[in-house]
């Protein structure tokens, strides 16, 4: 060994440099570990459930886009999404995609998936098996039994009252709310909630203790978002965004689960920049737990994941 000796000052200086380097590496490691991604498993309000931050929707133009793929391409799409880490699948009775989802998820462990469906009502947009003010608890349970048969599952994670627009939807759907709560207590579903398509309906949802999960239309461009009118489709704009954000903040305070939808403006955002702008703004706002995007190709899945991952990297 060399006979060279170091002074105490040199030793202290060297030790400090090593400690600083170690702390820098550790901080970098923590930053890398803490960075959020599109496929993180995230908590959904106070429900106790987790789902992937990005979900795949099966209801673009009432499901016609996804059904138009044909079974083989649809199955491959869902499998690709799952392989990329997307575990949240969004469907509805109205989309007529329950049986499509059933075939696509064969072989995937049920506990690995978060499946959300919806029941249409006469206080929203009607559909087969719709419920109105005269709906019965038994009808809700019977409908959920049909959903489970169509999906070939023992339980559904969340079932929403679909597409509510009437200001008095809470009163009109009371029997259905009771039926969904009974289903939750029987472990037929794990949580219940609502999707809204008018600002008046959204305000009621934000304040309603019955709601576990809200599915909310949100994008910074204000396209296809809830407005003061009864029918908000295609009539909203940037001026409508702040009113929706206000209701999201109310939901946050009440610890509702919040899922954002219409982030691509129901397909109206044709450019990559428009889609990037929307996904970045919504995910950086911290106003939602998760988002769902209707997708029809691997490229659309890859793009959505990229935009969300990049939003958290900024």
Q: Which domain CATH number covers 47? A: 3.20.20.100
**Structural domain contains residue 57:** yes
Q: What per-residue confidence (pLDDT) applies to 137?
A: 44
Give the pLDDT confidence score for residue 267 in this predicted structure.
87
The per-residue pLDDT of the chain, averaged, comes to 89
Helices of type H across the chain: 8-34, 64-67, 71-83, 98-104, 137-151, 169-172, 174-185, 199-207, 241-253, 272-285, 298-313
pLDDT tens, 272-285? 999 999 999 999 99
Q: What is the domain range of residue 58?
A: 38-313
Would the pLDDT of 298 be above 50? yes
pLDDT at 235: 78
Residue 14 belongs to some domain of the structure: no
**Do the domain assignments include residue 16?**
no
Domain contains 68: yes
With respect to residue 55, please indicate whether it lies within any of the assigned structural domains. yes
- 172: Cα within 13 Å, side-chain hemisphere: 18
**Is residue 30, in this structure, part of any structural domain at all?**
no
Out of 14-23, 102-111, 129-138, 189-198, pick the least confident. Answer: 129-138
Model confidence at 67: pLDDT above 50: yes
Least confident residue range of 31-35, 185-189, 250-254, 279-283 = 31-35
Instruction: Classify residue 299: in a domain, yes or no.
Output: yes
Asked whether residue 63 is assigned to any structural domain, the reply reads: yes
Higher pLDDT, 31 or 100: 100
Dist. CA 222–CA 282, nearest whole Å: 12
Write the CB contacts of 37 (distance below 8 Å, at least 6 apart in sequence): 53, 85, 305, 308, 309, 312
DSSP per residue, 116-163: EEEE-BTTSS--TT-B-TT--HHHHHHHHHHHHHHHT-S-EEEEEEEE
Nearest to 262 by CA among 127, 100, 79, 90: 90
* pLDDT given at position 10: 58
Weakest-pLDDT range from 27-36, 85-94, 182-191: 27-36
At 5, the pLDDT band (50, 70, 90 cuts) reads low
CB atoms within 10 A of CB 292: 25
State how many domains the chain has.
1
Question: Is the pLDDT reported for residue 28 higher than 80?
Answer: no
Each residue's pLDDT tens digit, 225-267:
998 765 545 578 999 999 999 999 999 999 999 999 999 988 8
| Confidence category of residue 18, pLDDT binned at 50, 70, 90 | low
> Which of 273, 52, 297 has its CA nearest to residue 157?
52
Residue with tokens 């659309």: 300
Banded model confidence at residue 184, pLDDT cuts 50, 70, 90: very high
The pTM score is 0.86
């Amino acid at each position: 060994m060399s006979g060279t000796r170091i002074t105490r000052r040199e030793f202290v200086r060297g030790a400090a440099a090593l400690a600083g380097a170690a702390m820098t590496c550790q901080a970098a490691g923590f930053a890398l570990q803490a960075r959020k991604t599109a496929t993180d498993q995230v908590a959904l309000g106070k429900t106790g459930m987790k789902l992937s931050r990005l979900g795949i929707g099966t209801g673009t133009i009432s499901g016609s886009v996804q059904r138009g793929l044909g079974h083989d391409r649809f199955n491959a799409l869902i499998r690709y999404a799952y392989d990329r880490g997307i575990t949240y699948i969004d469907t509805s009775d109205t989309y007529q995609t329950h049986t499509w989802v059933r075939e696509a998820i064969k072989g995937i462990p049920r506990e690995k998936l978060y499946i959300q469906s919806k029941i249409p009502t006469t206080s929203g947009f009607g559909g087969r098996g719709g419920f109105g003010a005269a709906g019965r608890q038994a009808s809700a349970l019977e409908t959920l039994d049909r959903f489970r048969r169509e999906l070939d599952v023992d339980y559904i994670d969340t079932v929403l009252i679909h597409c509510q627009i009437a200001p008095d939807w809470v009163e009109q759907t009371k029997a259905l709310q009771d039926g969904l709560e009974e289903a939750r207590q029987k472990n037929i579903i794990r949580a219940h909630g609502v999707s809204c398509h008018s600002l008046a309906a959204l305000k009621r949802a934000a304040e309603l203790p019955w709601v576990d999960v809200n599915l909310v239309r949100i994008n910074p461009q204000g396209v296809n978002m809830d407005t003061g009118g009864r029918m908000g489709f295609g009539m909203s704009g940037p001026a409508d965004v702040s009113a929706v954000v206000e209701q999201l903040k109310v939901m946050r305070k009440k610890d509702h689960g919040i899922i954002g939808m219409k982030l691509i403006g129901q397909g109206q955002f044709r450019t990559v920049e428009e889609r990037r702008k929307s996904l970045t703004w919504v995910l950086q706002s911290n106003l939602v737990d998760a988002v769902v995007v209707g997708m029809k190709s691997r490229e659309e899945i890859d793009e959505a994941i990229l935009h969300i991952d990049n939003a958290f990297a900024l």
